[in-house]
C-alpha cells in the first residue's frame, strides 16, 4: 500500500490503469484492483503458514491440498487471531433504532444469541474470493450469513448435520462396527448431496429444517458426498465430547492409515482456536487419544 500510494496512478505492462478497489470478480486481471491481489497474497501466505504449501497453491490445482471447507475455516480463524478480533461483529447494517427493536423482539421471544465466531461478510468475501473459495457452497454447512455478518458454526451445531437424528452413541456404535469391516472407513454415511439426498436432505419442514429421509433407493445412495477432512475432524471432536473412547480410537486409527491430512488439520486448528474455547479443548483432548 505504501508503494502504491506513492504514485498518482499505477499501470500494468500494457498501460492500463489498475484501480485501488476495482472488481474482484472481473475477468480482466487489471480490473480486479490492487487490493484484490493484496488480499490474495495475504491469504496464500496465511494458508502456507497454518496449513502448508499445497493449500497456498490450491486454486492453481496443487495436489494434496485440503478441501475448501478446511481452508475457509483456517483463514477465518487466522483472521480473527491475527486481528485480535478487531474486525469481529461490527457490521454497518441496521441503524440504532432497528437494532433496539430486534433486541426487544429477541428478549420477548426468548431467542438466545447464536454462538460461534463472526466476521463481517466483506472481510470473509475478500479473503475467500481470490483463493477460489465458494462461500455459497458452505452456507449452512460450516458458515451462516445474516445481516452482513458471517458466523463460523460451532462444532456442537454440526452434530445433527454430521450424524443425523441419531445421537452420538448410535453413531459411535456404527463407527465401531464399520471399523471392523473397513480399517480405512470414509464416514460416507455422513453428508449426502442435499439436492438428491441419500440419508438426509432438506424436507418441507419448518424453515427448511433438515430431517431424516427413510426408504432411500439404491440410486439415491450413489449421490452421497464423501465427508471432507474437516467433517471427519469435527466428527472426532463430537465423539470426544460424548465420551465414546472406543469409537474415537477406531476413527483415529483409520485416519492414521488413510494419511497425514487429518492430524495435520487437527493440529493446525488447535493452534488457531482461542485458548479458552471449547473447540480447542476438544481438539487437544482428541489429539491426546491418537495411537502412538
- 18-32 pLDDT, tens per residue? 888 877 777 787 887
The confidence score (pLDDT) of residue 61 equals: 55
Query: What are the residue boundaries of the structural domains of the chain, listed by start?
Result: 158-191+226-288
| pLDDT for the residue numbered 26 | 75
Interatomic CA distance for residues 259 and 263, integer angstroms = 9
d(CA 185, CA 108): 47
Per-residue model confidence as pLDDT tens digits over 187-246: 655 444 444 333 343 344 444 444 443 444 444 333 445 789 999 999 999 989 888 888
| CA–CA gap between residue 276 and residue 59 (Å, rounded) | 33
The neighbouring-strand residues paired with 139 are 143
In sequence order, the β-bridge partners of residue 145 are 150
Q: Residue 150's pLDDT is what?
A: 96
Amino acid at each position: 500500500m505504501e508503494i502504491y500510494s506513492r504514485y498518482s496512478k499505477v499501470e500494468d505492462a500494457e498501460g492500463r490503469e489498475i484501480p485501488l478497489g476495482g472488481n474482484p470478480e472481473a475477468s480482466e486481471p487489471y480490473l480486479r484492483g490492487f487490493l484484490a491481489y493484496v488480499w490474495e497474497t495475504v491469504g496464500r501466505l496465511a494458508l502456507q503458514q497454518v496449513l502448508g504449501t499445497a493449500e497456498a497453491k490450491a486454486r492453481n490445482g496443487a495436489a494434496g491440498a485440503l478441501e475448501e471447507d478446511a481452508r475457509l475455516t483456517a483463514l477465518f480463524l487466522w483472521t480473527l487471531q491475527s486481528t485480535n478480533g478487531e474486525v469481529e461483529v461490527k457490521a454497518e447494517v441496521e441503524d440504532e433504532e432497528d437494532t433496539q427493536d430486534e433486541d426487544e423482539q429477541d428478549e420477548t421471544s426468548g431467542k438466545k444469541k447464536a454462538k460461534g465466531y463472526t466476521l463481517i461478510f466483506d472481510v470473509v468475501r475478500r479473503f475467500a474470493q481470490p483463493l477460489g473459495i465458494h462461500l455459497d457452497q458452505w452456507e449452512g454447512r460450516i458458515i451462516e450469513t445474516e445481516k452482513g455478518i458471517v458466523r463460523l458454526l460451532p462444532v456442537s451445531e454440526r452434530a445433527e448435520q454430521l450424524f443425523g437424528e441419531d445421537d452420538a452413541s448410535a453413531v459411535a456404535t456404527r463407527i465401531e462396527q464399520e471399523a471392523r469391516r473397513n480399517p480405512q472407513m470414509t464416514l460416507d454415511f455422513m453428508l449426502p448431496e442435499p439436492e438428491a439426498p441419500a440419508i438426509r436432505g432438506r424436507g418441507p419442514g419448518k424453515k427448511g429444517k433438515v430431517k431424516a429421509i427413510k426408504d432411500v433407493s439404491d440410486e439415491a445412495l450413489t449421490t452421497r458426498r464423501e465427508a471432507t477432512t474437516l467433517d471427519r475432524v469435527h466428527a472426532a471432536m463430537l465423539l470426544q465430547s460424548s465420551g465414546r473412547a472406543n469409537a474415537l480410537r477406531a476413527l483415529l486409527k483409520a485416519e492414521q492409515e488413510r494419511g497425514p491430512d487429518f492430524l495435520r488439520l487437527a493440529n493446525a486448528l488447535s493452534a488457531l482456536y482461542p485458548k479458552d474455547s471449547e473447540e480447542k479443548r476438544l481438539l487437544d483432548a482428541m489429539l491426546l487419544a491418537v495411537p502412538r
